[in-house]
Amino acid sequence: MIFENHIDCGDFTLEKLTPTDENAVALLTVINDNRLFLGKYLEWVDAYTTPEKALANIAKTHADDVCSYFIIVDGRIAGKISFVDTDDNMGEISYWLASKYTARGIMTRALNLMTDIGFNKMKLNRIQLTIDVDNTDSDAVARRCGFQLDGVLRQYFLLRGVPCDMKMYSKLKMDK
């Protein structure tokens, strides 16, 4: 399956960035500027300490057959949204957004768009999200996009060695 390289969403775009040193430095800069904000719930930020690591992530996202996009606002990397796990029936979406871009509806619109891609292009029946029980912002995005809470997965995820409970949300194609 081939996914578009650029999706215009009005005041932001979803883009498969070209893997360049310049884009790697830009990604590392946004991660560094948001390390505490993102690191509260996302352990992967700990590993992003070099441009090489950021470049590898951009290269992986750039592949035509991967439904993964950077969120670009005013020409700058603001976040990322991706299908991180899929099979013939189900897909799981992961997302993050830099703190200065929150509370603008960007992630809500990005998640709605990715959900539509999942149901209509990828022909998935179920799309799910796992969200830390304390992450009220991501929780609100899921609910605004019509995802239903399936339940709490107790000690589902280890964050820096500490077991964390996660909420499992899902949306079914028939829910649309």
| 128 has a pLDDT exceeding 70 | yes
Residue 43 has pLDDT above 70, yes or no: yes
The stretch 58-81 carries a mean pLDDT of 92
pLDDT score of 158: 87
Q: What are phi and psi of 32, to 5 degrees?
A: -60, -40
Look at residues 138, 78, 68 and name the one whose alpha carbon lies nearest to residue 108.
138
pLDDT higher than 70, residue 176: no
With 70 as the cut, is the pLDDT of residue 111 above it? yes
Residue with the bigger pLDDT between 176 and 63: it is 63
Q: pTM of the entire structure? A: 0.93
- CA-derived radius of gyration, the chain: 16
Amino acid 88: pLDDT? 79
Q: Check residue 74 and give its pLDDT.
A: 95
Q: Tokens for 5?
A: 């390289």
CATH class of domain segment(s) 6-124: alpha beta
pLDDT for residue 3 is more than 70 = yes
Distance (Å, rounded) from C-alpha 15 to C-alpha 71? 7
* pLDDT over 80 (residue 175): no
Q: What is the mean pLDDT of residues 143-171?
A: 94
Tell me the C-alpha to C-alpha distance, in Å, between residue 52 and each of 23, 27, 32. Answer: 11, 11, 14
Domain coordinates in residue numbering, the chain: 6-124
DSSP letter string, the chain: ----SEEE-SS-EEE-----HHHHHHHHHHHHHTHHHHHTT-GGGGG--SHHHHHHHHHHHH-TT--EEEEEETTEEEEEEEEEEE-SSEEEEEEEE-GGGTTSSHHHHHHHHHHHIIIIIS--SEEEEEEETT-HHHHHHHHHTTPEEEEEEEEEEEETTEEEEEEEEEEEGGG-
Residue 58 has pLDDT above 80, yes or no: yes
